[in-house]
Amino acid sequence: MFAKSEQVRIHERTHTGEKPYQCKYCDKKFSQCASLKRHERTHTGEKPHHCNYCKKMFAESGKLRTHERTHTGEKPYHCSYCDKKYAHISSMKRHERIHTGEKPYQCNYCDKMFAKSEQVRIHERTHTGEKPYQCKYCDKKFSQCASLKRHERTHTGEKPHHCNYCDKMFAESGKLRRHERTHTGEKPYHCSYCEKMFARSGNLRTHERTHTGERPYQCEYCDNKFAQATSLKEHRRTHTGEKPYQCSFCKNSFASCGQLRRHERTHTGEKPYQCNYCDKKFPNLSGLKSHERIHTGEKPYQCNYCKKMFVDSEKVRIHVRKHTGEKPYQCNYCDEKFAQSRQMRRHERTHTGEKPFQCNYCDKKFVESGQMRTHERTHTGEKPFQCNYCDKKFVESGQMRRHERIHTGEKPFQCNYCDKKFFESGQMRTHERTHTGEKPYHCSYCEKMFAQSGTLRKHERTHTGEKPYQCDFCDKNFAQAARLKSHERTHTGEKPYQCD
């Protein structure tokens, strides 16, 4: 029922489809005179409605009222489900659909439903390929007006969005909102599987994949899948060989920005990450987290094949390759493949002769950063690794572990050909050559081959005449340490061997 006859006539046209008002500038027709007037202003450019607070003018009274609320702060539309208020009724309706889950707009090309009409229009362009918004500065076209505006700011340099907490300005409102959360600490995105909260929706999606196991990004060169697009990009470069990030201090290039930053810290010595339990600092966050688990004892990563637990995800991935036999990293100079990228890099230096790590105390250079650190301790005298059973300290963690086996009696390395066990992997490999007959060490002066590098060195001295071991009591030199010891007993009178 209607209060006025004019209202009933206008309403009946929704049934009859009658549109008696025609535009004088084009062929469009309208069911209401007011609709015609509003439309004709798109031709004439007339804007009869003036803002009372600024100089802006509008073609429609409704748009003026909405605009004036940006001055008054008035929000007359209340959500029926929560305390939120809105300046526009359309904003309130869109918000209420978050509560109701209603998606009234369906795509004409697929079954997808949307909460907003604008969303369906934008989505349909993924089917039609339509890009109606063209940049005024170049030939690029866009499917969304917002994408065009963001793009044009790359030409103009405009940054219209100001942070409320500092002087920073941003080209995009989304970037401003994310930045302001660094001030407020707000984390509006809640994980559906645990109690974690995040400042960014993208971080939430990535995190939830640790629960679901979803890996939506697949490599086009192999069967590997990834939870993050950035991980896929970095992995893809292991196939293409692309290294777009170059070091500012040397000629090294890297496949990822993170690798570059970590590498440059080997030049600058910067260690921005400090342990919460001791004074140690680290050049990267992952190194800090792994270290802190030494204090906490936490091992959150489990192997799916043998149930071993690990301190960090990289270690479990590398460990799993022992089960699968996967070797994804191939040398650029020969056919050798490796389970770890750092193994490949070390190996490639045997081809290139590169020694990128220089001692801070002398001119020596090293193939690996670990070798450099160990060497520098010969200058500093530092012995950071202490035995858990006695007071002895060691320059290397490997030396400490080998020493501790004297206390524990542990022999973790078993021969693959007999039941013998060994304290060290090197001892086991040397022993296994008594079974296999392998002699991998070749003399540089003759055709002789040896099972041990030490035996090779002693043999080569028969060619070179080198005698590096000097007696402490006279001027005699010897080619072997054992012969020096025997000789020194002629001075000391020591007789260490007793008849049983």
The predicted-structure confidence for 243-273, as pLDDT tens digits, reads as follows 999 999 988 898 888 888 888 988 998 999 9
Provide CATH code, domain 1-74.
Answer: 3.30.160.60
Q: Contact, 402 vs 396, CB < 8 A? A: no
Predicted confidence at residue 255, as pLDDT, reads 87
Give the pLDDT confidence score for residue 11 in this predicted structure: 87
Residue 302 C-alpha from the chain's centroid: 20
Does pLDDT of 500 surpass 80? no
The arithmetic mean of pLDDT across residues 395-415, rounded, is 90
pLDDT attached to residue 140? 93
Q: How far apart are CA 97 and CA 432, in angstroms?
A: 72
Three-state SS string across the chain, please?
A: CCCCHHHHHHHHHHHHCCCCEECCCCCCEECCHHHHHHHHHHHHCCCCEECCCCCCEECCHHHHHHHHHHHHCCCCEECCCCCCEECCHHHHHHHHHHHHCCCCEECCCCCCEECCHHHHHHHHHHHHCCCCEECCCCCCEECCHHHHHHHHHHHHCCCCEECCCCCCEECCHHHHHHHHHHHHCCCCEECCCCCCEECCHHHHHHHHHHHHCCCCEECCCCCCEECCHHHHHHHHHHHHCCCCEECCCCCCEECCHHHHHHHHHHHHCCCCEECCCCCCEECCHHHHHHHHHHHHCCCCEECCCCCCEECCHHHHHHHHHHHHCCCCEECCCCCCEECCHHHHHHHHHHHHCCCCEECCCCCCEECCHHHHHHHHHHHHCCCCEECCCCCCEECCHHHHHHHHHHHHCCCCEECCCCCCEECCHHHHHHHHHHHHCCCCEECCCCCCEECCHHHHHHHHHHHHCCCCEECCCCCCEECCHHHHHHHHHHHHCCCCCCCC
**Are 325 and 337 spatial neighbours (Cβ–Cβ below 8 Å)?**
no
3 confidence band (pLDDT: 50, 70, 90): confident
pLDDT at 387 over 90: yes
pLDDT band for position 434 (50/70/90)? very high
Measured from the Cβ of residue 59, the count of other Cβ atoms closer than 10 Å reads 19
Average pLDDT in the chain: 90
- Cβ contact 470:488 at 8 Å: no
Q: How many CA atoms lie within 13 A of 461 on its CB side?
A: 14
CB 96 within 8 A of CB 81: yes
Residue pLDDT, tens place only, 34-49: 889 889 988 998 999 9
pTM of this structure: 0.36
Question: Given a cut of 80, is residue 497 above it in pLDDT?
Answer: no
Q: Average pLDDT in the 25-37 region?
A: 90
pLDDT of 203-239, one tens digit each?
999 999 989 989 999 999 999 999 998 889 889 998 9
Given a cut of 80, is residue 353 above it in pLDDT?
A: yes
Q: How far apart are CA 68 and CA 87, in angstroms?
A: 10
Q: How confident is the model at residue 2 (pLDDT cuts 50, 70, 90)?
A: confident
pLDDT of 294 above 90: no
* Mean pLDDT across 363-370: 89
**Residue 319 neighbours by CB distance under 10 Å:** 16
Q: Write out the two tokens for 23.
A: 């535009």
Provide the pLDDT for residue 300: 87
Closest CA to 313 of 197, 189, 218, 226: 226
Backbone angles phi, psi at 17, to 5 degrees: 80, 5
Q: Which amino acid is at 420?
A: K
Return the biggest CA–CA distance within the chain: 133
* Residue 418: exposure state from Cβ atoms within 10 A (0-12, 13-18, ≥19): exposed
Q: What are the backbone angles phi and psi of residue 47, rounded to the nearest 5°?
A: -135, 85
Q: How far apart are CA 70 and CA 86, in angstroms?
A: 11
Q: What percent of the chain has pLDDT over 70?
A: 100
Q: How far apart are CA 156 and CA 141, in angstroms?
A: 17
Please give the distance of CA 159 from its chain centroid, rounded to a whole number.
28
Query: With the C-alpha atoms ordered 91, 92, 93, 94, is the resulting torsion angle positive or negative?
Result: positive
The model's pLDDT over 134-181, given as tens digits with 9 standing for 90+, comes to 999 999 999 998 899 989 999 999 999 999 999 999 988 888 999 999
Percent of the chain with pLDDT over 90: 46
Q: Distance (Å, rounded) from C-alpha 227 to C-alpha 234?
A: 12
For the chain, what are the domain ranges?
Answer: 1-74
In Å, what is the CA distance from 149 to each residue of 118, 134, 136, 161, 180?
17, 10, 10, 13, 22
User: Which amino acid, 485?
Assistant: K
Taking the alpha carbons of 410, 415, 416, 417 in that order, is the dihedral positive or negative? Answer: negative
